[in-house]
Amino acid sequence: MSVNKHDKILIIGAGLCGSLLALRLAQRGYQVTLVEKRPDLRRARLDAGRSINLALSDRGLAALKMAGMDEKALAISIPMRGRMIHQQGRDSFFSPYSGNPDTAINSISRPGLNALLLDALEPMNNVSLHFEAPCIELDLSRGLAKFEQRSSQTQSDQKEPFEIHAAVIFGCDGAGSIVRKALQAQQKEHFDFSLDWLSHGYKELSIAPNSEGDYKLRADALHIWPRGEDMIIALPNLDKSFTVTLFMSHTRSPHGFDHIKSEGQIRAYFEEKYPELIELIPDIIQQYQENPTGPLGTVKCGPWNAQGNALIMGDAAHAIVPFYGQGMNASFEDVLVLDQLMDYGVCPWSELFEQFAKKRKKDADAIADLALDNFHEMKEHTADPIFQRKRAIEVRLEQERPEHYQSKYSMVTFNPELSYHQAMTRGRAQDKAIEQLLRQNKLNESQELDDQLNLIDQRTQNLLSQIEQNN
C-alpha cells in the first residue's frame, strides 16, 4: 500500500498547525477536510480586544515559505532584533539576539496569522472547512470521526451530528487533543504520556499607544522585566500597542496569583516589582482583575501514530511552555519535515508516519527542555553580570566571526539547518564552557577574538566528549 492522491484526508484542528498542514496537502493535490471545534476566528473575533502575540522565527518562516505564505506573514509582523532588559532599580539595556544586525524574530498576531492561512484555504476546490464542530467520537481503526455541528447563528441546543470517513486522520487539535486521547485509549500501556504543569501561570495585559498614537516603548525589541521568580514580557503590535504577559507563581506567598487579588494587593505588588508598568498601563489594576489567569505546561508523549492512518502533530504531540518562542515554529517545522519526507519517495502512510515520528520526537523533547531552560534564564539570569558578560562576548563573536561562532539562541532560532536536538546539545555545552571560563578568569573581553574562540571551542569540545562518553 502506498500514499494515494485519492485518499481522503481529515485534519482535526484548524489552528496554526492544522491550517498550514491542510494548505500544504491541498497544494499537493489531496482532498482535505479541516474541522475545528471553535467558531471561525475571522468572523467571530474570538480575541477581540486582545492581541495574542507569537514570535515567528526562521524555522516557522521556512515552513511558511514551503507553502508560499512567508512574505504575507512578514507583511503583518514586526521585527524584534533583541531583548530590552528592564532591570529593577537600574538602567535598562538592549541585548541583541545575534551579532548579525539583519537577524530578527517577528512579533505576529496569532489570530492574524491563522486568518491568513484560512483565507488561503477558502477558495481551494479540494478543501472543505467546518467550524463549530467538536469531535464527539473517533474510531481510528475504521477511519471514522463523528462531529457535533453547532452554530452561533442558531439556538445553542440545536446540534446536528455528522460523520466523516477518511483514509488518513491528522490530529492538530492542541494540547488537549482528542486524537491523542484516542491513540492513548487504543494503545493503553504502550502509550507514554506526561503532562508537567509549571508552577507559574500567566496573565495578559496591554500597553496602549501614547497620546500621539505611537509606541510607548522601543518597538524593535522584546521587552523583559526579570524579577527572579516573576517576569513580565511585552511584544509590539501593528496598532502601536504592546501585548504584556505577566508570569507568576500560582501559590507562592505573598507574590502569587492565588494571593494577589484585591486592589490594594495588586497596586502594592506592581509598585514593588514593576513601578514602570503602573505608568505605562494606567488601568493595570482593572486589567489584572478582569483578564483570566492561564496555566502553563509541557506535554510529552508517544507513539504519535497508530493504525497506519493516524498521526498527531504540533501541540497535540508536543506542547511546550512559551519561553523560547518556538511553540508555533516547532509545529510549523513538523509540517515542513512531513512534506520533505513525502518528497523522498512513494511509501505507505504508515511508513511515512513512522519516519516522521522517529525524526521529530527527539527534537520535540529537546525544544521542550530548552523552553524550560529559557524560562529560568529570562526571569533570573538576564540581569546577572556573568550572563551579561557572556552575551557581550557572544554578540561580538557573532558580529566579527559569524562563520565560526553561533550562540545557542542563534542555533535554535536562526539556524533551521540544525535540528533542535543538535542545537540543544552543542548550545548547552557552549554556554557551560563560556560561564566556566569567565568564572575561572580564563576568558575576558580584552582578549583577541581568535584567542577567545580557541578557548571556548576547546572547552566546548571537552564537554561534548564527556557527554558522549556518558551516553
As a whole number of angstroms, the distance between CA 430 and CA 433 comes to 5
As a whole number of angstroms, the distance between CA 300 and CA 361 comes to 9
Instruction: Please spell the DSSP secondary structure of 56-97, one letter per residue.
Output: E-HHHHHHHHHTT-HHHHHHT-EEE-EEEE--TTS--EEEES
| Number of Cβ atoms within 10 Å of the Cβ of 451 | 12
DSSP bridge pairs for 223: 84, 234
Return the residue matching grid coordinates 565560526.
404
- Helix-, strand-, coil-residue percentages of the chain, each rounded to 5: 45, 25, 35
15 neighbors 39 (Cβ within 8 angstroms): no
pLDDT value at residue 158: 60
pLDDT value at residue 410: 94
DSSP bridge pairs for 9: 32, 168
For the chain, the structural domain boundaries read: 8-87+101-195+296-375, 198-290, 384-470
pLDDT, block means (10 residues), the chain with 471 residues: 74 98 97 97 63 86 98 98 92 88 92 97 97 96 93 60 96 97 91 95 96 97 93 95 96 94 97 96 97 95 92 98 95 98 85 95 97 80 80 92 94 96 97 96 93 97 92 73
Return the residue matching grid coordinates 542555533.
411
Return the residue matching grid coordinates 516522521.
356
Q: Give pTM, 2 decimals.
A: 0.93
Peptide bond into 303 cis (omega under 30): yes
CATH of domain 8-87+101-195+296-375: 3.50.50.60
